Chain A
Amino acid sequence: MAPSPIAEAQVLDALRSVMDPDLHKDIVSLGFIRNMTIEEGVVSFDVNLTTPACPVKERLREQSRRAVMAVPGVTDARVNMTAEVRRPQTPSTSALQNVRNIVAVGSGKGGVGKSTIAANIAASLAKSGARVGLLDADIYGPSIPIMMRSARPAEPRPDNTIEPGEAHGVKVMSMGYFTPGDQPLIWRGPMAHKALQQGLLSVNWGELDYLIVDLPPGTGDVHLTLVQTVPVTGGVIVSTPQDVGLQISMKTLRMLQQTKVPILGIVENMSFYVCPHCGGRDDLFGHGGAEEAAKSLDVPFLGAVPLDPAIRRASDDGTPVVIAEPESSAGKAMAEVAGALARQVSIRAFRHLSLSIVEE
């Protein structure tokens, strides 16, 4: 009876017993095994190491050979040691080399108006003549495409880059352009990470004075990716006056501080309500909490934005209130916030020289 043919899976299973001592993983999981051929009882394959200077090369060769020889039916194992120095997975940030300032807008919890503030800051800076980009990094709940209705949405190019959309003088990129309106994105962290990297690095942003990044709520994957991928000029925290909202927002602030992202300031949203009928003012959620927090934390307070039906009208209409109703109390407040932010960015740019590693 002829011996039954040896299956590649059997050989791979046997090779799983061989561990790389540096990487603490077996050489099959590490993807080191290449070009396997099995001819009758003779098994040949490459073991592709991460460096040709591997000090344990011979040991790995011998262990691999022995493991394969132990598979029933194998008469000879030919192990060819190769190496390829892997490039680190760090993307090049050259796509952003013409972006002068990257400003992250975050909050600890959802629903505080982060995207509304980000859209208005972007539109207001553009209105003042700056070249502005807006990246919606809230990939799970992108709202920027609604608030910044664009005649020309972002679209992919054949060269694997993305041409940003344009709305109200702002270059806009959002995952919302690529997913149907009511379809959820069901992604795990690594996909979110990839999507943000693409949004940052594969978009043809061109020359920008400010790239505003609208972060998702909280302190997760996307935030870490952002601070690790690009040098962020600074972060803006949006909070409601309510203590709860504020305490949670502080988590985002602390995270930015821990990763050495300068805090450009705090914005208090839904700060107060002016009754359109009697003109009386009502502090629905309390008032001034964010300003006090800014003071005690010694970070700039960028302004208070009222609850104003004009904001909702304008946002649902696809035009930020600073453009749609610049004379409304909310429109004025948003313009003030954008101005205060631009001022802080300038102060930072002056104070902070970019850090690079000198090679000798």
Chain B
Amino acid sequence: MPALHPDQTTPVELRKKGGERFTVRWADGHESAFGARTLRGRCPCAQCVSETTGQRLVFEEHVSPDVAILAARTVGHYAVHFDWSDGHTTGIYSFDYLRRICPCDLCTGRAA
């Protein structure tokens, strides 16, 4: 994985829009907008990603379509933690990770 520039992984603004969306504006000016279900389906915790094989166990399609973010809070200086409406609370999403999973067309290579 190519290393990211510190500006790409430093958030300047974090917004939780109701239970449906979470957005990050980064120091390099980029903006990432996550839908709740996408974000829940990419939870990096040890229940959702096997600790031994690194394989993802819980995918977006396993998550209820109307899953909502109940609460979001920062973890130290490096990550965000979510409480989900399905009772899941163990994921710690580092800023590096959030930037790497930015779902925008540019980051996913959909914009040619």
Chain A residues 204-247 with CB under 8 Å of chain B are 227-232
A 1-32 contacts with B by CB, 8 A:
22-24
Taking Cβ atoms with an 8 Å cutoff, the residues of A that contact B are 22-24, 49-51, 53-55, 85-86, 88, 90, 227-232, 258-262, 355-360
Q: Size of chain B's interface in residues, with CB distance under 8 A? A: 30
Judge whether B104 is part of the interface by a CB distance below 8 angstroms.
Answer: no
Report, nearest first, the 6 A-B pairs whose CB atoms are least far apart: A50-B87, A260-B78, A260-B77, A227-B76, A259-B78, A357-B14
Shortest B84–chain A CB gap in Å is 9
A355 touches B11 (CB 8 A): yes
Chain A residues positioned under 8 Å from B77 (CB to CB)? 227, 231-232, 259-262, 355
Contact of A360 among B16, B47, B92 (CB under 8 A): B16
Interface residues of B (CB under 8 A from A): 10-11, 13-18, 47, 64, 70-81, 83, 85-89, 92, 95
Q: For the complex, give the distance between the alpha carbons of A323 and B41 in Å.
A: 56
User: What's the nearest-Cβ distance from chain B to residue A302, in Å?
Assistant: 20
Chain B residues near A231 (CB-CB < 8 A): 74, 76-77
Q: When the two chains form the complex, which single residue of A49, A227, A360 contacts B78, counting CB atoms closer than 8 Å?
A: A227
Chain A residue numbers with a CB within 8 Å of B76 are 227-232, 259-261
Q: Give the complex CA separation of A356 and B13 in angstroms.
A: 8
Bound-state CA distance A16–B59 (Å) is 26
Classify the secondary structure of A's interface with B.
loop
Total residue contacts A-B, CB cutoff 8 A: 76
Q: Are A23 and B64 neighbours in the complex by a CB distance under 8 Å?
A: no
Is the Cβ of B15 less than 8 Å from the Cβ of A358?
A: yes
Chain A residue nearest to B78 (CB atoms) is A260
Please tell me if the beta carbons of A357 and B15 are within 8 angstroms of each other in the complex.
yes
Say yes or no: A228-B92 contact (C-beta < 8 A), given A357-B80, A358-B16.
Answer: yes
Give bound CA distance, A51 to B66, whole Å. Answer: 14
- Closest Cβ of chain A to B66, distance in Å, is 9
> Are A51 and B86 in contact, with the CB atoms below 8 A?
yes
User: In the complex where A232-B76, A259-B76 touch, is A357 in contact with B87 (Cβ < 8 A)?
Assistant: no
CB distance from A306 to the nearest CB of B (A): 34
Distance, CA A257 to CA B58, complexed state (A): 29
Give the CA-CA distance A358 to B11 in the complex, in Å.
Answer: 13
Chain B residues lying within 8 Å of A261, measured Cβ to Cβ, are 76-78
Which residues of B have CB within 8 Å of A260?
A: 10, 76-78, 95
| Assembled-state Cα–Cα distance A53/B64 (Å) | 11
Residue of A nearest to B86 (CB): A22
23 contacts between A and B (CB under 8 A): A22-B86, A23-B47, A51-B87, A54-B87, A55-B64, A55-B86, A86-B89, A88-B83, A90-B73, A227-B77, A228-B92, A231-B74, A231-B76, A259-B77, A259-B78, A259-B79, A260-B10, A260-B77, A355-B11, A356-B14, A357-B16, A357-B74, A360-B16
CB of B80 within 8 A of CB of A360, answer no
Chain A residue nearest to B76 (CB atoms) is: A227
- Docked Cα-Cα span, A358 to B89, in Å, equals 20
